[in-house]
Amino acid sequence: MNKYKTEVMVGVFVMLTIGALLLLALKVANQTVATEGDTYTLYAKFDNIGGLKPRSAVKVGGVTVGRVTSITLDQDDFTPVVELSILNEYNGFPETSSVSILTSGLLGEQYVGFQPGFSFDGVANLQNGDYLQDTKSALVLEDLIGQFLFNRGNEED
Amino acid sequence: MDHLVEVDNLTFKRAERIIYDGISLKVPKGKITAVMGPSGIGKTTLLRLIGGQLTPDEGDVRFDGQSIVSMSRKSLYETRRRMSMLFQSGALFTDMSVFDNVAFPLREHTELSEDIIATIVALKLQAVGLRGAAQLMPSELSGGMARRAALARAIALDPDLIMYDEPFAGQDPISMGVLVKLIRELNDALNLTSIVVTHDVTEVLTIADYIYILADKRVIGEGTAQEIKESDSELVQQFLKGKADGPVPFHYPAPDLKASFLGADK
Amino acid sequence: MQFFQSVGANTIGKVTAIGRAAIMLFGALVAMPRLKNVPLVIKQLYVVGVQSLLIIMVSGLFIGMVMALQGYTILVGYGAEGSLGPMVALSLLRELGPVVTALLFAGRAGSALTAEIGLMKATEQLSSLEMMAVDPLRRIVAPRFWAGMLAMPMLALIFSAIGILGGHLVGVDWLGVDAGSYWSIMQSTVDWNQDVINGVIKSLVFALVVTWIAIFKGYDSIPTSEGISKATTETVVYSSLAVLGLDFVLTALMFGIE
């Protein structure tokens, strides 16, 4: 066994692995926004979160500003509480901001759409740990169909 | 006389089968001791017991006065550096050249520089007549050459004791002559103690200083070559002369042929 | 009566085998940390890693290509062919990369390890090491174990990366999925910790199991030609089953619970 050849080939093997890792790191995987860099936390209560999951994106006009870190159920009023991690560089959203659960495309994944509210005197900015008051629940297809049928039925009467 | 290895009243069982039943042997320092006996009585097992690879059920094995049996693992490995064993197949490492095989124990156990190792290896290979074959792989060697290469490896660390497991088995007359000469010469030149396990009677009688004959789980005869030849034990004589039947029966133990044929259904 | 006896005997046999395997692994691991043995590991990395590279790369490429082809025909029906990228990448990183690599590794390198160590035993090389006061666990078993532990995750990463490129080849270059969406949707879906790292963890677990089985089967084999052939077969069968079984458990632990 040629020792030189062995070492060269093992070197090639290691380089290939590093190449694969680089490809995965740079082109395939996202370095989770919420875990990279400093974040602050906001909470939002929804009536229905639909298919929202931890790690879903939080977007402002299509730009990802954070991630959903956890979803729990409030034991007092039995509504879901969604914990959002927002990057520190996106701060200064006014208290009047609203969030809604949206779907990307017809079959796409669900994300949290964040609409910054108007800022005027007497309205403070959102701070770490604040609750967002204005929330719109996810659209549930079955409810929509049910409503649609109900309305049709009413019209015919 | 000084004894390097003493086997004392040793009993060894494999599963329920008794291999040795209280045998005792003494191997004198600086001599060639032969252990002979029919095939299949566990002569190799004896060497493994001496090397500490197997543990006897009863009795003791002492190397240079120290008990191999009750040794800690660490001191057993220390002791093994002073002994070496030539396996029947040679047991060369098939993925290394002859040179690297002989250099192997030196590289493992010493901190010598590569230059010195190369010199030692060349000397050892010269002693067995294979210096020219240093760069060959074990698969390119004939059986006799492989055994000689393994012998060079076995003496690489200048051990006190060397154990030969059937060194003559399956060798042509020339290789056999070479091996007999090597065993004798190495023993005298390096002041080794040798144990040769074999069933080749003629070769052994020419080189061995002292001979033990094992059969039927015990020692049936011992002495110098001359004493063995003149032994009046029937067993010993059967073994030396190679008679088909005698005290060591021709038949493997079985019920009577007639009875088993005619009486099987009764 | 005889049934119970055979069940009992089998159980005892298996349990003692696991015990022997654990002792062997323990002996090998305790013996390892010596700088002198690094070249041995590199040599084994060549044997188990580099020599498995070709089969891994070819399989990865084809599996990626087939997935793109199959996925495209299904997704295009929903107009969701943009999701081809994440589908290919997630299946490879989470499942196919680690699992198929482990199965191929068991067949390619595991069986070779078993046969090699079994033959070393049969030709008295292991015994001879012991008599030379060299611990075979340290000299023979440990380097092979570490090489297996290193090689498998490396091979799995290469497998996944090449599979993703193969998916790109078929999906983008042949079937006309938009290259931008292939990569960008993939990137927004695949998570480094959740998907890549979990895949590597899976692969490490498989490496442990496959290498361990392969080495132990060789070390514990009956040193005859029949015994070694049996041990080699058992290596492939046992390690494949262990990989598939463990994959379920690991998947349930990693991805099953949100």
In this structure, of A54-68, C62-76, C205-219, the range with the lowest mean pLDDT score is A54-68
> Which pair of tokens denotes residue B68?
């191999």
- Pick from C47, C75, C22, C73: which is nearest to C219 by CA? C22
Amino acid A2: pLDDT: 65
**How many angstroms separate the CA atoms of C108 and C92, rounded?**
20
pLDDT at C119: 92
Contacts of residue A15, defined as CB under 8 A and 6 or more positions apart, other chains included, come to none
Q: Tokens standing for B146?
A: 């492989």
Confidence label for C204 from pLDDT (cuts 50, 70 and 90) = very high
What is the pLDDT averaged over residues C185-205?
A: 88
Alpha helices for chain C (secondary structure H): 2-31, 38-44, 51-75, 84-90, 97-105, 111-122, 125-131, 136, 142-168, 179-189, 198-219, 225-251
- Among B77, B87, B109, select the one facing C128 at the smallest CB separation: B87
Mean pLDDT of chain A: 81
Q: What secondary structure letter does DSSP report for C173? A: I
List strands edge to edge, sheet with B3-14.
B17-28, B3-14, B58-63, B66-67
Q: pLDDT: is C2 or B1 the higher one?
A: C2
Distances (CA, A) of B239 to B37, B58, B167, B246, C72: 7, 28, 19, 9, 81
Provide mean pLDDT across the span C165-187.
87
**Greatest Cα-to-Cα distance within chain C, rounded to the nearest angstrom:** 70
**CB of C35 within 8 Å of any CB in chain B?**
no
pLDDT at A33: 46
B123 vs A147: CA distance, rounded Å:
98
Structure tokens at C100: 């198929």
pLDDT band at C164 (very low <50, low <70, confident <90, very high): very high
End-to-end CA distance of chain C: 49
Residues with Cβ within 8 Å of residue B95, at least 6 apart in sequence: A1
Q: Indicate whether B264 pLDDT > 60.
A: no
Res B262 pLDDT > 60 = yes
Cα–chain center distance at A48: 15
State the complex-level ipTM. Answer: 0.81
**A9–C contact, CB cutoff 8 A:** yes
Cα radius of gyration (chain C): 21
**Mean pLDDT along residues C142-161:** 94
Out of A73-77, B39-43, C106-110, least confident range: B39-43
Cβ atoms < 10 Å from Cβ of B156:
25
- C188 contacts in A (CB within 8 Å)? 30, 57, 64
Once rounded to an integer, what is the mean pLDDT over residues C23-48?
A: 81
Q: Are C239 and C213 in contact (CB under 8 A)?
A: yes
Is there a contact between C130 and B53 if contact means CB atoms under 8 Å apart?
yes
Q: Is the pLDDT of residue B231 over 90?
A: no
Residues B91, C130: C-beta atoms closer than 8 Å: no
Position B171, amino acid = Q
| Rounded Cα distance, C12 and B125, in Å | 49
- Residue B59 gets the label, from left (phi > 0), alpha (psi -120 to 50) or beta, of left
**What percent of chain B is predicted at pLDDT more than 90?**
3
Per-residue pLDDT tens over the stretch B169-216: 777 888 888 888 888 888 888 888 889 888 788 778 888 888 888 877
Q: Is C188 on the interface with A (CB under 8 A)?
A: yes
Q: In what order do the strands lie in the sheet with B83-86?
A: B83-86, B161-165, B193-198, B32-36, B210-215, B218-223
Span between the terminal Cα atoms of chain B, in Å: 62
Please tell me the distance from the alpha carbon of residue C169 to that of residue C84, in angstroms, as a whole number.
12
Q: Could B85 and C131 be called an inter-chain contact, meaning their C-beta atoms sit closer than 8 Å?
A: yes
CA distance A128 to A88: 10
Range A104-112 average pLDDT? 73
pLDDT at C113: 94
Helix (H) or strand (E) holding B18: strand B17-28
CA distance C155 to chain B (A): 25
Distance from CA of A22 to the nearest CA of C (A): 9
Compute φ and ψ for B219, nearest 5 degrees: -85, 120
So what's the pLDDT on residue B266? 46
Please tell me which of the candidates A23, A55, A107 has its beta carbon nearest to residue C191: A55
Query: Which A residues 89-108 touch C at CB under 8 Å?
Result: 105-107
Strand pairing report for B193-198 and B32-36: parallel
Q: pLDDT band at residue C228, thresholds of 50, 70 and 90? A: very high
| Yes or no, beta carbons of C188 and A12 under 8 Å apart | no
The answer to whether C133 and B78 have CB atoms below 8 angstroms apart is: yes
Nearest alpha carbon to residue A26 among C192, B24, C66:
C192
Residues in chain A: 157
